[in-house]
Amino acid sequence: WREFAKEMDGVIRIGAVNCGDNRMLCRIKGINSYPSLYVFKTGMQPVKYFGDRSKESLKNFAMQYVTSTVTELWAGNFVNAIETSFASGVGWLITFCAEHGDCLSYQTRLKLAGMLEGLVNVGWMDCGTQGELCDNLDISSSTTAYFPPGATINNKEKGGVLFLNSLDAREIYQEVMQHLPDFEIISAASLEDRLAHHRWLLFFQFGESDKSNVQEFKKLKFLLKDEHIQVGKFDCLSSPTICHNLYVYQPCLAVFKGKGTGDYEIHHGKKILYDIVAFAKESVNSHVITLGPQNFPDKEKEPWLVDFFAPWCPPCRALLPELRKASKHLYGQLKFGTLDCTVHEGLCNTHNIRAYPTTVVFNQSDVHEYEGHHSAEQILEFIEDLRNPSVVSLTPETFVELVQRRKREEIWMVDFYAPWCGPCQALMPEWKKMARMLNGFISVGSVDCQKYYSFCHQESVRGYPEIRLFPQKSNTGHQYYSYNGWHRDSYSLRGWALGYLPQVSVDLTPQSFTEKVLNGKDHWVIDFYAPWCGPCQNFAPEFEILARTVKGRVKAGKVDCQAYAQTCQTADIRAYPTVKFYPYQGTKKNVLGEYIDSRDAKGIADLLNEKLEAIQNKGKRKKSRNK
């Protein structure tokens, strides 16, 4: 596999996934045997490889998917092909095949076309049939030559043509890459103006001998063309002040987003071609900027999320792409910035940063530290919760007032936690997410047992986190129920809590189904289920939320298909659970109803509202026609 990867380097990208560490990814991709070899290409389904696992067989299989163009040149197209290409600044690599000597094989030509895609055109000429043309070019035996743009084709001495003696694709590729022009060096005088009108990926170097000139990086121009990102260099020795103002103190690269020198982001990942491509594409389309003392948010009206990090720390580097993702969702509501604590130590000390990464939201005088997992989804969850808090922070006094003295029909869920406890920290984002899902049905709170230790002890809290549900008050009922489930994710907790809501939906018999649903004058939504079916049990609390959401407009009913098989058969129920809508439109309803293809309370409620609106509009049109 490694030999094959070396051989194909630059033509296709080779990767490996450890399914022991990434079980979920492998399961999603349908991998059920090891090793499983697949080729992935944009615009087509992944293709599995079933052949012999030798380097040669793998190479032949992979080359089928290299669709770069190798042009056959002859007297009829030669001049036009060369001139058109030269006019757009692209040279030609041509292998001439004559009677004497070796010319490049078909596979080598195709490999070179893939490796040089977008940089150099690749062609071949048969001197056996194009003898006159080869004579004019002074080609007498098989050879390969690179013609840079503007080369004088019929005078090889003066025209800068590069003749290549190798038959190896990688050696030819390296020689041609060396002859391609380097990136433009931006002058200090034109920098501000250039950055204000275009997106740029800039390599900052300190003097000419800088090692950032990797030949492979010349591909960046082509790879970033679709994103309209220009690529250039800036020498910090020509203007130390500019680099100092950008906090650039060593060779690095940064993306400027087309708004001058103020809106930019420094790259802290690996200096590998495709890592740089991914960074540049993500960065120009997101809203994260590099901060320093000059632009650090200070008592600004707009809220900021600031990530204090160190480039040497792997979790910090892993968080950066997640911040970019999150910034796209919150554009216009929250600004995103990153501060490198290895460069701005004083500023990090001012804000008492003791660990990396530390992510903080500054909202005028309020400061909130983010303590969840390093994913875009959880950052968005955290921000949403700051804007609309879903969990009530309870004190011993408010616990007595709101929970113990709750109204008769009120239900509370309370998390007793300690800030230092790892499982409590992992639970918190899920707890907040669950609280938002239960909004309007169950009140959710939390008690900090480090702060109120004696109160928690008095309430017999013996471990953290302790999750308790305080049900609707009844004369004989429990004071509370403790959650002992294995899973502490928002969906599992929500499902458990909803089980304590009193039922709003109606249990129907064959008789009441006929009388109330089919012959009645109400709209009905029905859950056809079987008591033994797992998905039905999972859906039951969801259906109760639906029943509460549509109460007053649509009645909700349940039919037990194990007890009333005949009714379910008549309604054409073939799977459990099945949800059907029975709208009243002035006549007896059809027993088949309207199938609802959703298992989400909100989704079903939205669908029912649409259907009710359509019925209402139909009724209005009918009335106006009758008038």
Residue with tokens 């649509």, as numbered in its chain:
554
Question: What integer pLDDT is reported at residue 345 of this predicted model?
Answer: 92
Q: What is the pLDDT of residue 623?
A: 63
Q: Does residue 474 have a pLDDT over 80?
A: no
Q: Who contacts 105 (Cβ-Cβ below 8 Å, separation ≥6)?
A: 167
Question: Is a pLDDT exceeding 60 seen at residue 157?
Answer: no
Known catalytic residue at 536 = yes
Does one domain contain both 558 and 589? Answer: yes
Mean pLDDT of the chain: 88
| Candidate list 19, 26, 313, 421, residue with the active-site label | 421
Residue 206: inside a domain: no
Omega of the bond leading into 465 within 30 degrees of 0 (cis)? yes
Same domain, 324 and 364: yes
Give a yes or no: residue 316 inside a domain: yes
Q: Which of 388, 423, 443 is the last residue of a domain?
A: 388
Same domain membership, residue 171 and residue 89: yes
Q: What is the CATH number of the domain that holds 135?
A: 3.40.30.10
Catalytic residue among 341, 449, 536, 568: 536
Six-digit token pair at 68? 């770069």
Band of the pLDDT at 109, cuts 50, 70, 90?
very high
Q: Render pLDDT for 178-222 as a digit per residue (tens, 0 to 9).
A: 888 888 899 999 999 999 999 999 999 988 755 545 788 999 999
Q: What is the pLDDT of residues 182-192, one digit of tens each?
A: 888 999 999 99
493 and 517 in a single domain? The answer is no
Note whether 406 and 370 are same-domain residues: no
Residue 143 lies in domain? 70-179
Number of domains composing the chain? 5
Q: Which residue has the higher pLDDT, 455 or 28?
A: 455
Concerning whether 127 is annotated as a catalytic residue, the answer is no
pLDDT of residue 625: 62
Q: Are residues 489 and 544 in the same domain?
A: no
Domain stop point among 63, 92, 114: 63
In DSSP notation, 580-627 reads EEE---SSPPPTT-EEE----HHHHHHHHHHHHHHHHHHHHHHHHHH-
294-347 pLDDT, tens digit per residue, is 888 877 678 899 999 999 999 999 899 999 999 999 888 899 999 999 999 999
What pLDDT is attached to residue 158?
A: 46
Distance between CA atoms of 272 and 511, rounded to whole angstroms? 71
Q: Say if residue 612 is in the same domain as residue 541.
A: yes
For 418, the token pair is 């300690």
Choosing from 243, 424, 449, 561, the catalytic residue is 424
Question: For the whole prediction, is pTM greater than 0.85?
Answer: no
Tell whether the model's pLDDT for residue 150 goes beyond 50: yes
Q: Which of 360, 388, 416 is the last residue of a domain?
A: 388
Co-location of 510 and 614 in the same domain: yes
**Percent of the chain residues topping a pLDDT of 70:** 95
Q: Which one is catalytic: 19, 26, 313, 533?
A: 533
Confidence of residue 368 (pLDDT cuts 50, 70, 90): confident
Between 417 and 409, whose confidence is greater? Answer: 417
Tell me: the pLDDT tens digits for 261-306? 888 999 998 888 989 999 999 999 999 999 988 888 877 678 899 9
Q: Does residue 91 sit in the same domain as residue 131?
A: yes
Q: Distance between CA atoms of 49 and 2, rounded to whole angstroms? A: 17
Q: Are residues 402 and 451 in the same domain?
A: yes
Strands 199-205 and 229-235: parallel
Tokens of 37: 């070899």
Tokens of 361: 């939201």
Same domain for 36 and 83: no
Residue 249 lies in a domain: no
| Domain contains 218 | no
pLDDT at 624: 61
Residue 486 — pLDDT band, cuts 50, 70, 90?
Answer: confident
208 vs 542: which has the higher pLDDT = 542
